[in-house]
């Protein structure tokens, strides 16, 4: 049947409309696709590129090289050594147990290492690298690298680890580093992302702790490409961080080593200080410990050995230990009396061997008495009765004030751990802390450094330096940071006049050089190096009358830990003081040779090594030479300051 022209025209119109609609739809679809492609390829390109990179690229922090620590002469105290380790990233590893088991066939991985690794993995995000084992040998880290395809998520790392080349010598001052602990994260107000890296080490005690921010540096960043199983294919780019600052201490490493050797076998401390600058030249405490053991993870056996040692090697006795200063405190009592005008330099006081206060007798150490003595003679012979008498005239308040001015009872601002404040007691202190009134007997005891008075070896060295210089010498430990010297604060003068200081010095010269001096056996023969000093004995406990009846009459008759402490402070040369030294020997006893030990340390500091034997009295030279042969000294050689990494 033939269609009419009209029907044909109508059909053509319908087809044209449909084609137009279909074409328009197709055009709209093509335009939409084009716009979407433009949106994805141009507008959102950065976002999709980032998503793609995150699938194949890992971004990791690079720990900075820790700053080095040198002594005053450029000798390395704390450095960094190459460290090889194996790390695991949980999100790349898949089956962690299986991967660790395979790793254990290549390196000596203990059960404790596996347990620790799994614990650290649970504590951190899946993309954080966890150290499985460090301090690997080159052969071990090579085996890990070669077997990389069979160890998804495991990567050999090459970094730096802290090392202390002088071992025990600087342990108490410099301290050591260790991994960031949970308590560190809780206690530190520090948002540095480096602290989140498992195994990252920070200073735990000493200079390493107190100057942590200076030594740490800032993190770097690296981007690494990994394949589908997490194996590192290549490093795409790296932005190194800022290494920590190198610091230089005022300590003299050779003098420090000699002081430790001279004190060997004792539970003791010695501090040497420059009397003009306040630089600490030595700050020794014996016995010491090996800080490297703490860096590597100290064993229970080693730690228990340190902890249970009755000589307390983990304690820095030089700044943490506080002791009754004994007769060394007579310097303070004498200065207080002179300043207050309660005694004249040439005024004599009779010592019959005791003083009666109420119904109690306070005895002098010399029960026969010293007779009539002035201030210089009282210091030279260490007459207790003289200072008992002048202390009652002065009173405890002025004595405590003078003690503070001389550096006792003061927490000196140094970058070391647990610096003790000591104690200069007065009436208010006793009322507050003992809930008792101050008694005359308390003043008498304080006058000779007993009773409640407590001082550290550091404080005693400062007292000696201030006595030598007549100025408020401020101790310091930090010499420079990245080669820039730390300014020295000029010390102001003491509040006592020069005549008073000279009067005290005259008595201290007599202690060592006078015919009746209590430390005459420690004198220096070289006139240009003559020493002034003061002996001291701090009582640990009284020997009862009942004990005396059984033959217990001195320190040699009682256990070591019940014997008195031996002290000595000194400075030299007498006419132009350069160095002051203090020494405390725990339970050394009243007859201990603390003064000769301090003298030897002082001479070593002044001569920059062993003093010539002619510096000693002729009768002592053979003995001195023989004792030197017994010392075990470290061979310490300077290293170039330009060397930035050890």
532-538 and 76-88 beta bridge pairing: unpaired
Question: Is the domain covering 58-249 a CATH 3.40.50.2300 domain?
Answer: no
95-152, pLDDT tens digit by residue? Answer: 888 888 888 888 888 888 888 888 888 877 777 778 888 778 788 888 888 888 888 8
Contact (Cβ atoms closer than 8 angstroms) between residue 537 and residue 555: no
pLDDT computed for residue 25 by the predictor: 74
The CB density around residue 124, as the number of other CB atoms within 10 Å, is: 14
Provide the token pair at 638.
């300077």
327 in catalytic set: yes
pLDDT computed for residue 111 by the predictor: 85
Task: Flag residues of the chain having pLDDT under 70.
Answer: 1-15, 17-19, 40-58, 198, 224, 226-233, 235, 541-557, 591, 639-646
Provide the token pair at 264.
């060997």
pLDDT computed for residue 51 by the predictor: 47
In the sheet that holds 268-274, the strands lie side by side as: 280-286, 268-274, 579-585, 565-572, 532-538
Phi, psi of 642 (to 5 degrees): -70, -15
291: part of which helix (H) or strand (E)?
A: none
Contact (Cβ atoms closer than 8 angstroms) between residue 583 and residue 457: yes
pLDDT computed for residue 218 by the predictor: 87
Of the candidates 11, 262, 165, the residue with the CA atom closest to the CA atom of residue 646: 165
Of the candidates 220, 195, 230, 225, the residue with the CA atom closest to the CA atom of residue 124: 195
247-249 and 69-70 beta bridge pairing: parallel
pLDDT computed for residue 6 by the predictor: 60
Provide the token pair at 357.
């206060």
Domains 58-249 and 253-544+560-630 share a fold: no
444 three-class SS: helix
pLDDT computed for residue 642 by the predictor: 41
The CATH number of 253-544+560-630, from 3.40.50.1000, 3.30.1330.200, 1.10.12.10, 3.40.710.10, is: 3.40.710.10
536: part of which helix (H) or strand (E)?
A: strand 532-538
Helix/strand/coil (H/E/C) assignment for every residue in 184-251: HHHHCCCCCHHHHCCCCEEEEEHHHHHCHHHHHCCCEEEEEEECCCCCEEEEEEEECCCCCCCEEECC
25 Cβ neighbours under 8 A, 6+ residues apart:
none
630 three-class SS: helix
> CA-to-CA distance for 187 and 457, rounded, in angstroms?
30
Catalytic residue among 327, 417, 455, 538: 327
Provide the token pair at 472.
């408020």
**Strand stretches in 63-219, DSSP E:** 69-70, 76-88, 130-136, 154-163, 176-179, 201-205
522-578, pLDDT tens digit by residue? Answer: 999 999 999 999 999 988 766 555 545 555 555 666 777 788 999 999 999 999 999
450 three-class SS: coil
pLDDT computed for residue 643 by the predictor: 41
484 Cβ neighbours under 8 A, 6+ residues apart:
none
Q: Domain extents for the chain?
A: 58-249, 253-544+560-630
pLDDT computed for residue 644 by the predictor: 41
> CA-to-CA distance for 341 and 261, rounded, in angstroms?
45
pLDDT computed for residue 74 by the predictor: 94
């Amino acid at each position: 049947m033939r269609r009419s022209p009209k029907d044909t025209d109508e059909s053509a119109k319908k087809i044209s409309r449909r084609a137009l609609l279909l074409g328009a739809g197709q055009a709209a679809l093509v335009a939409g696709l084009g716009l979407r492609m433009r949106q994805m390829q141009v507008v959102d390109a950065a976002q999709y590129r980032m998503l793609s990179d995150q699938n194949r690229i890992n971004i990791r922090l690079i720990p900075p090289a820790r700053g080095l620590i040198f002594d005053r002469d450029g000798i390395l105290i704390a450095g960094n050594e190459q460290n090889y380790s194996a790390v695991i990233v949980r999100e790349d590893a898949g089956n962690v147990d299986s991967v660790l088991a395979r790793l254990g066939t290549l390196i000596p991985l203990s059960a404790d290492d596996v347990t620790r690794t799994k614990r650290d993995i649970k504590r951190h995000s899946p993309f954080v690298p966890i150290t499985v084992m460090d301090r690997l040998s080159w052969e071990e880290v090579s085996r890990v690298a070669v077997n990389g395809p069979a160890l998804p998520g495991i990567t050999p790392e090459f970094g730096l680890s802290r090392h202390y080349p002088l071992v025990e010598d600087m342990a108490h001052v410099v301290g050591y580093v260790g991994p960031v602990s949970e308590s560190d994260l809780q206690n530190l107000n520090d948002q540095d992302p480096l602290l989140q890296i498992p195994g990252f080490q920070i200073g735990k005690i000493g200079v390493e702790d107190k100057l942590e921010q200076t030594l740490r540096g800032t993190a770097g960043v690296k981007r690494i490409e990994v394949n589908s199983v997490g194996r590192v294919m290549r490093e795409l780019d790296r932005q190194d961080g800022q290494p920590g600052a190198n610091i230089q201490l005022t300590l003299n490493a050779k003098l420090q080593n000699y002081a430790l050797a001279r004190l060997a076998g004792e539970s003791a401390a010695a501090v040497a200080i420059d009397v003009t600058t306040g630089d600490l030249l030595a700050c020794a405490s014996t016995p010491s410990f090996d800080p490297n053991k703490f860096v590597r993870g100290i064993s229970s056996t080693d730690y228990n050995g340190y902890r249970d040692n009755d000589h307390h090697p983990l304690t820095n006795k030089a700044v943490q230990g506080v002791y009754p200063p004994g007769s060394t405190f007579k310097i303070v009592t004498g200065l207080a009396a002179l300043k207050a005008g309660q005694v004249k330099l040439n005024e004599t006081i009779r010592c019959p061997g005791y003083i009666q206060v109420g119904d109690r007798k306070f005895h002098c150490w010399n029960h026969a008495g010293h007779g009539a003595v002035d201030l210089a003679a009282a210091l030279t012979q260490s007459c207790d009765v003289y200072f008992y008498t002048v202390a009652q005239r002065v009173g405890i308040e002025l004595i405590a004030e003078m003690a503070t001015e001389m550096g006792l009872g003061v927490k000196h601002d140094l970058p070391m751990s647990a610096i003790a404040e000591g104690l200069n007691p007065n009436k208010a202190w006793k009322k507050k802390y003992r809930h008792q009134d101050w008694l005359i007997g308390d003043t008498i005891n304080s006058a000779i450094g007993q009773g409640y008075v407590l001082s550290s070896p550091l404080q005693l060295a400062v007292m000696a330096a201030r006595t030598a210089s007549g100025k408020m010498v401020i101790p310091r430990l930090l010499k420079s940071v990245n080669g820039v010297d730390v300014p020295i604060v000029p010390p102001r003068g003491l509040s006592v006049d020069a005549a008073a200081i000279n009067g005290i010095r005259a008595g201290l010269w007599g202690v060592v050089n006078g015919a009746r001096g209590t430390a005459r056996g420690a004198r220096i023969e070289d006139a240009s190096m003559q020493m002034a000093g003061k002996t001291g004995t701090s009582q640990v406990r009284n020997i009862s009358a009942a004990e005396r009846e059984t033959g217990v009459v001195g320190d040699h008759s009682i256990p070591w830990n019940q014997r008195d402490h031996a002290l000595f402070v000194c400075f030299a040369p007498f006419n132009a003081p350069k160095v002051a030294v203090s020494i405390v020997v725990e339970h050394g006893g009243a007859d201990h040779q603390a003064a000769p030990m301090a003298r030897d340390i002082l001479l070593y500091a002044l001569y920059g090594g062993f003093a010539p034997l002619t510096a000693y009295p002729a009768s002592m030279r053979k003995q001195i030479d023989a004792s030197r042969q017994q010392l075990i000294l470290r061979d310490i050689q300077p290293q170039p300051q330009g060397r930035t990494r050890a």
